[in-house]
């Protein structure tokens, strides 16, 4: 780092500290809110969402051969299969924008093509079956259907655009795919499938949230999600005991720890920043009052849709919380188009996820990906607003 840059950073930090509005009640509440949001995130998401995701990512890095990833998700893979599987992964995982990050990092590191990996990154939190059903029930079937179709289309289109923009890099990865050699472990295909399936089910059941509205099957599963989680843990313990060597387990733990070190500090820092700026939406104690956002997203103008997309991209939504939040915003005058724009941008992105994505795939790709999500959400919101308006 150049001395001039260091000086600029020091001067900037001094000016921020000098003019910090510590006596302003809004600022004081925002600081406290950032810690409340971080505490809530740690209590509700780290143990039951992120930790299982870290172990799955570590397992992918250790026990899934690069040749296999290249075959099904690499640049030379069948595009219909690769994008088809990636684009509907959210129907199984039902994770938030932060929990999907270790899984994305795992398949990206093993050589998955940028396009399918990005499709998976978007679809993981965006195509949540329960969230889509709740959207239809609470906000209307038209908005629920538009969200479902838009999310699937977004994941494929954004993935294809990213693959096209970084075509040269993908070509180099495709050349490396020919050099990848499949490594056979000491387990059969069925044993490996059971191992990964059990971990995915642990993630799904442990993170299974209580529906804000009674929704049949999902409400029934919520009532028994802990017994189901424990049952899956017992199966995983048996699998590890019978089919894994001590050295393999150590490698798995080391790989998991590597993902945790890379992602968790950035994620918690991002949650602190998001809490300071916007706070928990249900309390409205951040630096940016929710009433200003609600007032600016009425109607179906380009500005209203763009603002809804950008606001959604930076806010952090825990799984399913976006539905009652948007219900409240619509009640305060939010247009149908901006509502869809926020639904398409919000669950898939957040300030914490942007911070982590930058460390995984670099600043440029992160900016391009986030920009594509915002632009497409804005355009889709405007079109939807014209149709239903």
Q: In Å, what is the CA distance from 29 to each residue of 72, 161, 278, 282, 293?
A: 49, 41, 11, 14, 18
CA proximity to 61, closest of 233, 266, 251, 199: 251
Per-residue pLDDT at 114: 86
Task: Find the distance separating the first CA and the last CA of the chain, reported in whole Å.
Answer: 53
Query: What are the pLDDT digits (tens) for 351-387?
Result: 888 988 998 888 999 999 999 999 999 999 999 999 8
Query: DSSP string covering 91-106, please?
Result: HHH---TTTHHHHHHH
Per-residue pLDDT at 282: 66
| Secondary structure E strands in 150-195 | none
Per-residue pLDDT at 162: 93
CA–CA distance, 219 with 211 (Å, rounded to integer):
6
Supply the pTM of this predicted model. Answer: 0.75
Per-residue pLDDT at 185: 53
Per-residue pLDDT at 383: 93
Q: Contact at 8 Å (CB) between 199 and 52?
A: yes
Q: In Å, what is the CA distance from 27 to each residue of 186, 272, 278?
A: 57, 14, 11
Residues (pLDDT < 50) of the chain are: 179-184
CA proximity to 155, closest of 144, 165, 163, 145: 163
Cβ atoms within 10 Å of 92's Cβ, excluding its own = 15
Query: What are the pLDDT digits (tens) for 226-247?
Result: 999 999 999 999 999 999 988 9
Per-residue pLDDT at 182: 45
């Amino acid at each position: 780092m150049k001395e001039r840059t260091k000086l600029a950073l020091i001067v900037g930090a001094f000016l921020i500290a000098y003019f910090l509005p510590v006596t302003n009640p809004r600022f004081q509440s925002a600081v406290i809110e950032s810690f409340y949001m971080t505490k809530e995130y740690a209590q509700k998401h780290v143990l039951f969402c992120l930790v299982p995701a870290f172990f799955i990512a570590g397992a992918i890095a250790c026990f899934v051969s690069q040749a296999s990833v290249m075959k099904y998700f690499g640049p030379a893979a069948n595009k219909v299969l690769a994008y088809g599987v990636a684009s509907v992964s959210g129907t199984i995982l039902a994770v938030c924008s932060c929990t999907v990050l270790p899984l994305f990092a795992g398949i990206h590191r093993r050589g998955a093509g940028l396009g399918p990996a990005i499709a998976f990154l978007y679809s993981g939190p965006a195509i949540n079956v329960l969230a889509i059903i709740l959207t239809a029930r609470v906000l209307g079937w038209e908005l629920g259907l538009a969200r479902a179709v838009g999310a699937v289309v977004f994941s494929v289109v954004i993935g294809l655009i990213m693959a096209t923009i970084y075509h040269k890099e993908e070509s180099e990865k495709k050349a490396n795919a020919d050099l990848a050699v499949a490594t056979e472990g000491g387990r059969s295909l069925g044993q490996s499938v059971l191992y990964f399936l059990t971990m995915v089910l642990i993630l799904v059941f442990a993170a299974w949230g209580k529906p804000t509205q009674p929704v049949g099957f999902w409400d029934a599963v919520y009532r028994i999600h802990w017994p189901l989680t424990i049952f899956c843990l017992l199966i995983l313990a048996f699998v590890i005991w019978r089919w894994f060597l001590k050295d393999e387990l150590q490698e798995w733990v080391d790989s998991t720890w590597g993902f945790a070190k890379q992602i968790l500090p950035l994620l918690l820092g991002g949650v602190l920043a998001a809490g300071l700026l916007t706070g928990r939406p249900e309390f409205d104690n951040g630096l940016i009052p929710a009433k200003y956002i609600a007032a600016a997203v009425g109607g179906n103008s380009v500005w209203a849709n763009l603002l809804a997309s950008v606001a959604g991209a930076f806010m952090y939504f825990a799984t399913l919380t976006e539905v009652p939040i948007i219900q409240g915003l619509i009640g305060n005058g939010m247009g149908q188009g901006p509502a869809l724009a926020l639904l398409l941008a919000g669950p898939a992105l957040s300030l914490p996820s942007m911070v982590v994505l930058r460390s995984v795939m670099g600043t440029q790709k992160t900016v391009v990906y986030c920009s594509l999500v915002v632009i497409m959400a804005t355009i889709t919101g405007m079109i939807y607003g014209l149709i239903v308006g």
